[in-house]
Amino acid sequence: MPDHNNTIIKLDGVRKSFGAVHALSGVDLEIRIGEALGIVGHNGAGKSTLMHILAGSLQADTGSISIHDAAPVEGYGIAEAQAAGIRTVFQELSLCPNLTVAENTRIMNPEIKGFNWRSRASRQILDKLDEIFPGHGISANAYVGDLPIAKRQMVEISRAFTSISTPLNLVILDEPTSSLDAIVSEQLLTYVRKFTEAGGSCILISHLLNEILTTTNRIIVMQDGKVVDERATSRFDRDSLVEAMGSVAEHEENGDHAGKVRTREAEPILSVQPNETAGDMVMEIYPGEIVGLAGLSGHGQTETLVDIFLDKRKAGGKSRLPMALVAGDRQVDGIFPLWSIGKNISIASHGEFVRFGLIDHDQEKQLADSWKDKIGIQTPDLENNILSLSGGNQQKALFARALGSTAEMILMDDPMRGVDIGTKQEVYGLLRQEAAQGRTFIWYTTEMNELEHCDHIYVFREGNIVANLTRNELTEQKVLHASFEGG
Amino acid sequence: MEGLLNPRLMRNLLPAFSLTILLILIFYIQPRTMSYLGLNLLLNLALPIAFATLAQMCVMTVNDLDLGIGSFVGFVACVGATFLRDTPAIGILILLGCVGVYAGLGALIHQRNLPSIVVTLGMSFVWLGLALLVLPTPGGKAPDWARAIMTWKTPMVPFTIYASIFVALAVHFLLMRSAYGVVLRGAGGNPRSVERAGWSLLRIKMAMYALAGFFGILSGIALIGLTTSADANIALRYTLLSIAGAILGGGEFVGGRISPIGAVIGATTLTLAGSFLSFLRISPDWQIGAQGGILIIVLALRVLINRMEAK
């Protein structure tokens, strides 16, 4: 079936790592002329990294990229992608808000210049908008910053399809419908079908499986930076697709700790309703539990954690519990980059060792030292700067900060991002140990296998809780079904 | 959202509106200023400040700030009053080198990802030191041609007004209307997006800094054309005046939102504010504070308009 004369771009053994995290671990991919390729996979499967490599905005560590069956391109980058006629609509909007719709079109098309360029750019983008989204109601002179998000996305998609002199071979759409309503989404998908019938190619990434199933010819399933399944779309249906996304973890699931479930007794120490308006499910947290928050990223889990931390949106339970938060984005929200490791650990506990308004340094050092051993931070000296540690060890220091405080409840915002597997195992053990001693954990994670360490799991979608599972009810299938559209 | 109450239109008209109010007040208090000579005296120093403001605005376009522009203008003035008069070839070479240094600053700030305020603040001391080396004590003499241009008796209204209008329109065309100007402003609005479309951010930053250097040079030469002699400390206050002028004219510190016409109007407004306060017989001790007061009033008006827009 693979006829090598009609390949647009071919990836061979492409790998990409960010520090200890392997975002892509050996991807082979071939995109053919006139095909609509769907890519699905859970968070962190490597889809977006793959798109960035195709767009040239990230460079692969190893592996080769070739275009139209020519020899592999050395140093494939943005210019090469553009020359090959590849355009990308990234997940995060990338228009300039201070420019008009027409001016943004000019940024994408260097050919539009010289006398009267403005009216030519306007015509380009308006023609495309009319073609893809009839009745869009967008003016070419409107400033992008003034447009509502859906219209911005429409402009960005249409802009990707404008082309002046280089032929447009492949358009990559990464979650293009995330802020479009159903009617406009359908307009886009119709256009994608038309575009591919006319000989263009398209890559569609979407969490809405129906879109993938109705629009594409071929689907690849990604997991942990690898392509784990690839079939013609006709050979997939909704259930088999969900199954393919979860296949690996299913095999590993007969874990050792899956058996025992804590029985919920007495009163919850906290109950939270993330979305008060929508007669939504209530999340209940009992002392000594590890509660997992699941679902696709950006569906309200972090917001809920922050709200709990700030004591907002509480439906009942005791108020003002001593709490600590372990941040996920440690560079932004976690570490104090100029401070030593010891200071980074003890900052949350300063209140305990203040004497006569001054900090008792001996006690402070004691606390840091004891946690260095307990959690196994690999450093010769806690006086070293925090940045001298590897990412995983920095995260350990942040765990030590939270666990070393007197907090009874610890909130964790996907703290294992970019942490190597060895560190993860150590921290999992520590969490279970601390929970057994009566501490309560609320743990937002995007990694399916981490949910197996939780006593109770709440799945979030669009800011609401859509499923409530105990540990022995937990299967990856159920979480996936709940995370993706209503099913 | 239509018609006169359109917040975007109001925000664009605010600088011109402030200038008009100020002019009306000045004419009311001191009607004799409503003459060729009066306007000339009032607006005399507006042109160098307008050039410095445009320089600042170029740097602001790419989300940076130039804290060295005042000392740079002073340095240019010192070179202008010495080399440029005595040995024009060397003088021109030095000034061209300055544009190169500015482009280099842009490259350094972009490549090493340094905060522009640190680099340009450091450079302000370098410029000041160089200026003192060139002209240790106040003095020198402006080239005759600079003097001739700045004192040119134009018909109807003074030269400053023609020059300001011409420069404002030229820069407006370059940055706001031309196809490449869009890319330059886009780099302030969303650098990543511009880079992903295949443009070199390095070149954009270098271009904007070089342009800032160019306007800095025009500012220095215009200044000695008026004062006839130079002094290393002659333009130190331009740093803050240029920032205030660019913001007053409708620009913003980040996001590539700039207005060249507004910047020239803003610079003129600031120049007039000083005269206005003198006419009110406010003692010079209080003038700086009162000038700040005017700035606060205009910016508060802008916040009000923005709030209207947010609704």
pLDDT band at A259 (very low <50, low <70, confident <90, very high): very low
Q: Are strands A456-461 and A440-444 parallel, antiparallel or unpaired?
A: unpaired
Residue carrying the six token digits 């279970």: A432
pLDDT value at position A441? 92
In chain A, residues with a C-beta closer than 8 Å to the C-beta of B197 are 107-108, 110
Decide if pLDDT at A154 tops 90.
Answer: yes
* Residue numbers in chain B where pLDDT is lower than 70: 1-5, 310-311
pLDDT band at A20 (very low <50, low <70, confident <90, very high): low
Contacts of B306 (CB under 8 A, 6+ apart): B7, B11
pLDDT value at position B59? 96
- Quick check: B173 contacting A, CB < 8 Å? no
Q: Which residue of A has its CA nearest to B252?
A: A98
Integer CA distances (angstroms), A252 to A40, A247, A418, A470, B196, in order: 21, 9, 21, 18, 40
Q: How far is CA B259 from the centre of its chain?
A: 12
pLDDT value at position A316? 52
Decide if pLDDT at A50 tops 60.
Answer: yes
Q: Find the CB nearest A107 among B8, B186, B257.
A: B186
Highest-confidence segment of A356-370, A403-417, B233-247: B233-247
Decide if pLDDT at A4 tops 60.
Answer: no
Inter-residue long-range contacts of B162-169, CB under 8 Å, 24+ positions, other chains counted: B163/B47, B164/B43, B164/B46, B164/B47, B164/B50, B164/B264, B164/B268, B167/B50, B167/B51, B167/B54, B167/B264, B168/B50, B168/B260, B168/B261, B168/B263, B168/B264, B168/B265, B169/B261
Report percent pLDDT > 70 for chain A: 89
- Quick check: B5 contacting A, CB < 8 Å? no
Q: Which residue, among A252, A315, A479, A331, has the nearest Cα to A19 in the 3D structure?
A: A331
Q: B297 to chain A, minimum CA–CA distance in Å?
A: 25
Enter the pTM of the model.
0.78
Report percent pLDDT > 90 for chain A: 29
Instruction: For the beta carbon of residue B132, count every other beta carbon within 10 angstroms.
Output: 16
Decide if pLDDT at A255 tops 50.
Answer: no
Contacts of A12 (CB under 8 A, 6+ apart): A28, A63, A64, A65, A66, A72
In chain A, residues with a C-beta closer than 8 Å to the C-beta of B186 are 96, 98-99, 103-104, 107
Tokens of A300: 């309200």
CA distance A436 to A430: 10
Helix (H) or strand (E) holding A37: strand A36-41
pLDDT band at A15 (very low <50, low <70, confident <90, very high): very high
pLDDT band at A278 (very low <50, low <70, confident <90, very high): low
- Is B193 in contact with A99 (Cβ distance < 8 A)? no
Decide if pLDDT at A102 tops 90.
Answer: yes
Nearest 5°: CA angle at B200, between B197 and B203?
150
Least-confidence region, from A32-36, A327-331, B190-194: A327-331
pLDDT value at position A124? 93
Question: Could you report the per-residue pLDDT of A201-224, keeping only the tens digit for each?
Answer: 999 998 778 889 999 999 999 888
pLDDT value at position B311? 61
pLDDT value at position B4? 52
The answer to whether B168 touches B247, Cβ cutoff 8 Å, is: no
Mean pLDDT, chain A, as a whole number?
Answer: 84
Chain B 183-222, residues with CB within 8 Å of chain A CB atoms: 183, 185-186, 188-190, 192-199
Gyration radius (Cα) of chain B, Å: 19
The answer to whether B11 touches B305, Cβ cutoff 8 Å, is: yes
Q: Find the CB nearest A96 among B180, B189, B198.
A: B189
CA distance A58 to A81: 11
Question: Could you report the per-residue pLDDT of A451-465, keeping only the tens digit for each?
Answer: 888 988 999 888 888
pLDDT value at position B1? 39
Question: What CATH code is assigned to B39-310?
Answer: 1.10.3470
pLDDT value at position B148? 94
Mean pLDDT (whole number) for A385-394: 82
pLDDT value at position A277? 63
Instruction: For the beta carbon of residue A439, count every other beta carbon within 10 angstroms.
Output: 20
What order do you get walking across the sheet with A86-89 strand by strand?
A86-89, A170-174, A201-205, A36-41, A218-223, A226-232
Contacts of A429 (CB under 8 A, 6+ apart): none
pLDDT value at position A267? 75
- Quick check: B306 contacting A, CB < 8 Å? no
Decide which of A329 and A116 is more confident.
Answer: A116
pLDDT band at A314 (very low <50, low <70, confident <90, very high): low
Mean pLDDT (whole number) for A246-275: 58
- Is A96 in contact with B190 (Cβ distance < 8 A)? yes
Per-residue burial over A99-131, b if 16 or more Cβ lie within 10 Å, else e, is bbbbbbbbbbbbebeeeebbebbbebbbebbee
pLDDT value at position A208? 79
CA distance A391 to B289: 50
In chain B, residues with a C-beta closer than 8 Å to the C-beta of A84 are none
pLDDT value at position A2? 44
Q: Which residue of A has its CA nearest to B197?
A: A108
Inter-residue long-range contacts of A379-387, CB under 8 Å, 24+ positions, other chains counted: A379/A341, A382/A340, A382/A341, A382/A342, A382/A345, A383/A340, A383/A341, A383/A342, A384/A340, A384/A341, A385/A337, A385/A338, A385/A339, A385/A340, A385/A341, A386/A335, A386/A336, A386/A337, A386/A339, A386/A340, A386/A341, A386/A344, A387/A335, A387/A337
pLDDT value at position A217? 93
Q: Which residue, among A92, A117, A93, A91, has the nearest Cα to A103 in the 3D structure?
A: A117
Question: Could you report the per-residue pLDDT of A56-88, keeping only the tens digit for each?
Answer: 988 999 999 998 888 888 889 999 998 899 999
Mean pLDDT (whole number) for A38-46: 81
CA distance B116 to B126: 15
* Three state DSSP letters for B92-143: HHHHHHHHHHHHHHHHHHHHCCCCHHHHHHHHHHHHHHHHHHHCCCCECCCC
Decide which of A425 and A98 is more confident.
Answer: A98
Decide which of A252 and A245 is more confident.
Answer: A245
CA distance A94 to A87: 13
pLDDT value at position A264? 66
The answer to whether A482 touches A466, Cβ cutoff 8 Å, is: yes
pLDDT band at A486 (very low <50, low <70, confident <90, very high): low
Q: Would you call B94 exposed, middle or buried from its count of C-beta atoms within 10 A (0-12, 13-18, 19+)?
A: buried
Q: B214 to chain A, minimum CA–CA distance in Å?
A: 24
- Quick check: B12 contacting A, CB < 8 Å? no
Alpha helices (H) in A221-279, listed in sequence order: 238-245, 247-251
- Is B190 in contact with A106 (Cβ distance < 8 A)? no
Question: Could you report the per-residue pLDDT of A165-208, keeping only the tens digit for each?
Answer: 888 999 999 888 877 887 888 999 999 999 999 999 999 998 77
- The identity of residue A275, as a single letter, is N
Q: Which residue of B has its CA nearest to A97?
A: B189
The answer to whether A364 touches A339, Cβ cutoff 8 Å, is: no
Q: What three-state secondary structure class fits A273? A: coil
CA torsion, points B193, A56, A188, A35, in degrees to nearest 10?
A: 170
In chain A, residues with a C-beta closer than 8 Å to the C-beta of B193 are 94-96, 107
Q: B75 to chain A, minimum CA–CA distance in Å?
A: 34
CA distance A159 to B256: 21
pLDDT value at position A252? 41
- Is B255 in contact with A97 (Cβ distance < 8 A)? yes
